[in-house]
Amino acid sequence: MLKAMLLKVFREGVGGLMAFISFLTRPRKIKRTHDEQLAVAEKAKSMSVYQYFACPFCIKTRRAIHRLNVPIEYRDAQVRDSEHRQALAVEGGQVKVPCLRIDDGDKTTWLYESNDIISYLNEQFDPAVEAA
């Protein structure tokens, strides 16, 4: 019991330090015209990211979202009794983060794996990828 508690404290401490360093070194945001940014914001309304604050893969995904300058809602799935964790488990099928929820009318897609999420977001929002 004590060993598990110490491990949790260590993991959260290291994760918090990683999140702080990530904040200090985050990449520059993509610049867009006002109208382009409004279109990005409108498209992002149908998306949300389920995540844990100190998870390294979630940090990686948040850095990409920051660089892409996309206002996506973050949902904390770490708290055991939270509605977001329940939605992730029941609707998404597993409690695994990061997870990008994409609502498209009646259809909801749950995209797991940080690299897959980042690739998808780059295809949707990175002008350099769109031009290629």
Domains and CATH numbers, the chain: 45-131 (3.40.30.10)
Q: What is the pLDDT along the chain (132 residues), one digit of tens a residue?
A: 777 777 676 677 777 777 777 777 788 899 999 999 999 999 999 999 999 988 999 999 999 999 999 999 999 998 878 899 999 999 999 999 999 999 999 999 999 999 999 999 999 999 887 655
Tell me the pTM. 0.83
Please write down the long-range contacts of 26-32, taking CB distance under 8 Å and 24 or more positions apart: 26/63, 26/66, 26/67, 27/63, 27/66, 27/67, 28/67, 29/66, 29/67, 29/68, 29/69, 30/67, 30/68, 30/69, 30/125, 30/126, 30/127, 31/69, 32/69, 32/127
